[in-house]
Structure 1
Amino acid sequence: MKVKLGSVSVVSTVSFGQQKQIITQLRDSVSWVPQTGIGIAGSEPVKDTLRYNVFSYHDEFYDVSGIAHEGQQLVNINSRDTMTQVVYSKRKNPWLWIFSPKVLEQRVYFKNPNAHIHYSRTINIQR
């Protein structure tokens, strides 16, 4: 995080997950897949249909699975991520060295590269 250990005030880590189940009407489950002719030079590709009944995708951050059943598509989506927050002190104007007052700064990092911060708020408490 490129923060000096001596200036750190608070470090917190939060792990969270989300789960969503979606049920929709199945509109089209047919895909055209080109198949080439065997042994026939210059022949046109033959199109064949494949019916998809289930699918599944898993990686470090997402689990997505679905099934087509009686005209409906059931999709389960699970996501997980880890957020790390660091609060540390730094000089307001580093070029003034010791004459510059220290201020607190916050950095937030997500493990998932697709995660984004949509809202952030800083409250300055003065005594």
Structure 2
Amino acid sequence: MENNQTCIRAFADSVQIENCRKEIQVNNQSFSQLSGLLALAGNEVRLKILFLIEKENELCPCDLSDILEMSIPAISQHLRKLKDGNVIKGRREGQTIFYSLKQAHLSLLLPFFKHIIINKKMETV
């Protein structure tokens, strides 16, 4: 038997379809912002960086380089993408830049970080 992926319906709920279209349009900017954040956090290294920055409040590229055992230029590239994506901010102290999460993104990222912590606890049980 061939697996046919077509949709056959007897009746289209035009009110539901129109309401859903309006809902998408009204929230289009939020979808775009969340999609951008998830695309940046979807990279494993950047997710680790975000997790560490949230856990420690702020870190510099040298700290992240030591923790993740990566070169400073590689860490800097990831930090640049996160900064360009408006996810983190920098604070200069002398010649060192300390990065922290922007509060607007913290509420979106915390559930993911909690998931990571919960999984770690479950693995040790």
With normalisation by structure 1, the TM-score equals: 0.23
Between Structure 1 and Structure 2, the one with more strand by share is 1
Between Structure 1 and Structure 2, the one with more helix by share is 2
Over alpha carbons, which structure has the higher Rg?
1
With normalisation by structure 2, the TM-score equals: 0.23
Greater relative contact order (CA < 8 Å, ≥ 6 in sequence): 1
